[in-house]
Amino acid sequence: MKDSISILIVDDEPIAIMSAERVLKAEGYSVEGVLSAKEAMQCMEKNNYDLVLTDLNMLEIDGIALVKWIKNNRPSTGIVVITGYLLQETIKEALKLGVNDHMMKPFTPAALKNVIHNTITCMRANSSANASGEDFPQSMFSELDQIIHQFRNESGSTVPVLAVLVRAQDIFGYLPYTVQKHIAQAMNIYPSEIHSIVSLHSCFRTKQDQQLPDSYDYRSGYTCALPRWKAINSFNKYLPANATAQH
């Protein structure tokens, strides 16, 4: 099994469960599927699961209610929500509850594998951060919040993610999961997506003693980040004219 990772799939559409099971079992995960939130709760009372992949739109007990139950009863379990339609208010509620990521139906096998991999990586980073006891002064987080607020005022509702990460690293010196999670919550972004961007770029470090290139021009690498972030195209405006990070 893939590091003995156990996944519970919750969906009232049997074909959706079978499709996801086939993909994830082929990847080496231990996978079970149930057709309702009630069944999921019963299973989780008897067994431990590392990750729950749940549909949001289900009869009797919906996905949001299940997420709340998991957070109250199995807080260490990772959660990915799936839905056939995107409602911003529902997604915002899921974010506030601490969901790791979401997927839109229909999804491809590659997309499913990518989201699950990123979520598990993010969960492990969170576990390591908790074990290390990383603690930063509240003043640092307040300064970061002010920067995010400033960017939001200048660029509208979409904040340039990479610019925020660059400034965050300037403040904290590195980007451990506790900082990544704070940024995700402040920007209404799933933590696994922030973690993916940080992991993608060699200009960011997640450990205090991690070595970085002697010189890194942020302009040379930012365009390979996830294309979904429209604000990345305006990243340059948030950096000085000769913005090169010296380490």
Residues 173-204 pLDDT 10s? 888 888 988 888 888 788 888 888 888 777 78
Sequence-distant (6+) residues with CB within 8 A of 220 are none
pTM above 0.85, yes or no: no
Q: Which residue type does 217 have?
A: D
Of 49-63, 81-95, 110-124, the least confident: 81-95
Let me know how long the chain is.
247
Residues of each domain in the chain carrying CATH 3.40.50.2300: 6-132
DSSP reduced 3-state for 219: helix
CATH number given to 6-132: 3.40.50.2300
Measured N-to-C along each axis, helices 177-187 and 161-172 cross at an angle, to the nearest 10 degrees, of 140
- The dihedral built from the CA positions of residue 144, 147, 149 and 151, taken in this order, carries a sign that is negative
Instruction: Read off the pLDDT of each residue in 66-81 and give the average, rounded to a whole number.
Output: 93
Helix, strand, coil abundance in the chain, percent, nearest 5: 55, 10, 35
Split at pLDDT 50, 70, 90, the class of 150 is: confident
pLDDT of residue 188: 79
